[in-house]
C-alpha cells in the first residue's frame, strides 16, 4: 500500500502557479510537511528509530536524508524524553550508485560521487534509501546492488519525495512524499536550498517543479 495517498485531499496544495520555469507542484512548506509525515511513518513502521540507517542517493537524496534524520531524532526525543537523544548525523550516509548503473554505456561518462556510510555500518540495520524522484526505478535497482556489496542489512526500505510513476522494474516505494502522475515527456525537477543556487549563488527556496516538454529548452529535452 502506497502511503502517498495519505496526503489529505481536503486540504489541497496552493493552486499550481505556471511560470516559464515550470509548474510548482510542491512548495517549501509542502516539502517540509511531507518529510515530517514520512519521518513519522518510518518510526511507526520500524517501531522506533533504533538500528535505522538513512542512505541518501546523491545529489538531492543526501540533504533529504539529513532532514529526515533530524525529524526522526526530534520525534524520538519527544516520544521518550528519558532516552539519550539521537544525533542525526550518525544515522545518515550517502550511497553513490554510478558504478552500478545499467545505462552507463548509453550516456556520456558520468562523474563518480562519494559513498560514505555511518560509522555503525549497515550490517544488521534497517536501511532506508532516500531519493528525490522515483521514476523508472533503475537507480534504486543499482542502489540495491551497491548495498549488497557494502554489507547485509536486515531490511531495505525506500523513501522518495516524489513518485512520478513509469516504473521499468518491479520496485515500489515504502514512503512517498507525493504521488505525481506525469507524462514521460515532462520533467520533474526538485530544488533544495542545500544544493541548488541561483545564478548569483544565493540558495534557491525548496520546490518541486514540473517542466512540460515545451517549457524546457532544447538542451534540457530528454535524449
Partner 1 sequence: MRHLLSTQELTRTEAIRILDTSAQMAATQSREIKKLPTLRGRTVVNLFYEDSTRTRISFETAAKRLSADVINFSAKGSSVSKGESLKDTALTLQAMGADAVVVRHQASGAPHLLAHAGWLDAAVVNAGDGTHQHPTQALLDAYTLRRHLSGTGLEGPAGSRPDDAAALGADLAGRHVAIVGDVLHSRVARSNVHLLHTLGAHVTLVSPPTLLPVGVGSWPCAVSYDLDGTLAGHGHHGGVDAVMMLRVQRERMSGSGTGGGAFFPNPLEYARKYGLDARRLRLLDEHAIVMHPGPMNRGLEISAQAADSSRAVIVEQVANGVAVRMAVLYLLLAGTEDTRTATDTTIERATTS
Judged by the rule CB under 8 A, the positions of this chain that interact with partner 1 are: 57, 59-60, 96, 99-100, 104-115, 131-136, 139, 145, 149-150, 187-190, 219-220, 222-223
* Residues in contact with 192: Cβ distance below 8 Å, sequence separation at least 6, in sequence order: 60, 63, 64, 132, 206
Nearer to partner 1, 83 or 112 (CB): 112
Q: CA quadruple 199, 201, 202, 203: dihedral positive or negative?
A: positive
Smallest gap from residue 203 Cβ to partner 1 (A): 16
Smallest gap from residue 107 Cβ to partner 1 (A): 6
Nearer to partner 1, 112 or 169 (CB): 112
Smallest gap from residue 5 Cβ to partner 1 (A): 23
* Residues in contact with 90: Cβ distance below 8 Å, sequence separation at least 6, in sequence order: 118, 119, 120
Nearer to partner 1, 76 or 182 (CB): 182
Smallest gap from residue 139 Cβ to partner 1 (A): 4
Nearer to partner 1, 76 or 164 (CB): 164
Smallest gap from residue 56 Cβ to partner 1 (A): 12
Distance of CA 120 to CAs 68, 73, 113, 138, 203, Å?
18, 17, 21, 27, 32
Nearer to partner 1, 112 or 155 (CB): 112
194: which strand partners? none
Pick from 47, 53, 46: nearest CA to 68: 53
Amino acid at each position: 500500500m502506497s502511503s502517498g495517498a495519505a496526503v489529505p485531499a481536503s486540504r489541497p496544495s496552493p493552486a499550481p502557479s505556471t511560470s516559464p520555469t515550470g509548474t510548482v507542484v510542491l512548495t517549501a512548506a509542502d516539502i517540509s510537511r511531507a518529510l515530517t509525515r514520512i519521518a513519522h511513518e518510518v518510526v511507526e513502521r520500524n517501531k522506533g528509530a533504533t538500528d535505522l540507517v538513512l542512505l541518501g542517493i546523491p545529489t538531492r537524496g543526501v540533504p533529504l536524508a539529513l532532514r529526515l534524520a533530524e525529524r526522526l531524532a526530534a520525534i524520538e526525543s519527544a516520544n521518550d524524553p528519558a532516552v539519550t537523544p539521537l544525533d542525526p548525523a550518525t544515522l545518515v550516509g550517502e550511497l553513490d550508485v554510478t558504478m552500478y548503473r545499467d545505462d552507463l554505456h548509453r550516456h556520456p561518462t558520468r562523474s563518480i560521487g562519494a559513498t560514505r556510510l555511518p560509522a555503525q555500518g549497515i550490517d544488521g540495520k534497517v536501511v532506508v534509501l532516500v531519493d528525490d524522484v522515483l521514476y523508472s526505478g533503475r537507480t534504486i535497482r543499482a542502489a540495491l546492488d551497491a548495498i549488497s556489496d557494502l554489507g547485509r542489512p536486515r531490511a531495505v526500505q525506500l523513501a522518495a519525495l516524489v513518485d512520478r510513476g513509469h516504473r521499468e522494474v518491479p520496485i515500489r516505494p515504502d514512503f512517498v512524499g507525493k504521488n505525481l502522475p506525469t507524462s514521460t515527456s515532462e520533467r520533474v525537477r526538485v530544488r533544495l536550498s542545500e544544493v541548488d543556487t541561483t545564478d548569483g549563488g544565493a540558495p534557491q527556496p525548496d520546490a518541486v517543479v514540473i517542466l512540460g516538454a515545451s517549457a524546457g529548452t532544447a538542451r534540457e529535452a530528454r535524449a
